[in-house]
Amino acid sequence: MKIAVQNISKKFEKDWIFKNLSIDFIIGNKYAITGNNGSGKSTLLQCIAGYTMCTKGKIIMESDDGIIEEINHYKYLSIAAPYLELIEEMTGLELLSFHHKFKPLNSNFSFLEILENVQLQNAANKLIKNYSSGMKQRLKLAQAIFSNSPILLLDEPCSNLDEQGIALYHNLINKYCFNKLIIICSNDTQEYSYCNEVLNMQQFK
């Protein structure tokens, strides 16, 4: 599995966010995207996820079977980000069940076992609107990490997590994501200390 980012640029109105960015993201590797606020970290991740379109260039996703049609890219990736909302009228269990209908979760675990892995088993039947910010972030991570997809996109994954939550995050990455392609946006080294490649967006201004 590979994501080939080929000479992409992104413009909002009259301002170029980044220009002429090319990189190959290879499965099994872990990449950190860093840079000042406004440098385009999250925008690049959203381009990769298909949430926004590149102004120039193209993004190609390729598996062992060949090029994957752009319309099917979403099937191969999962994402956790502060700007993505949860359905707060659902319980934790209901959300995972709903998510599973659109993007299958890891079949080795029941929904309750997934919640146990992020220490939310006692809140499984509690409405998400009554979760703390840290609980919501752990649920977002569970939904992304346990999706049955080879690509994991993370934007500031330790947002709202305390010291225990940060340790939990690293345990999840080490235990369940060793064979995934991970791309993480962050300027906090404790969030991406496990990454073997760092891409600084300041290069593409």
Please report, for the chain, the start and end positions of each structural domain, with discontinuous segments joined by +: 2-204
pLDDT digits (tens, 9 = 90+) for 79-97: 999 999 999 999 999 999 9
**CATH number for the domain running over 2-204:** 3.40.50.300
User: Phi and psi for 48 in degrees, rounded to 5?
Assistant: -65, -40
| Angle, helices 92-102/133-145, rounded to nearest 10 degrees | 30
Query: Which three-class secondary structure state does DSSP give residue 166?
Result: helix
pLDDT for residue 169: 97
Q: If you search the block for the tokens 């076992």, which residue do you land on?
A: 113
pLDDT for residue 205: 83
pLDDT for residue 160: 94
Point out the residues of the chain with pLDDT beneath 50: none
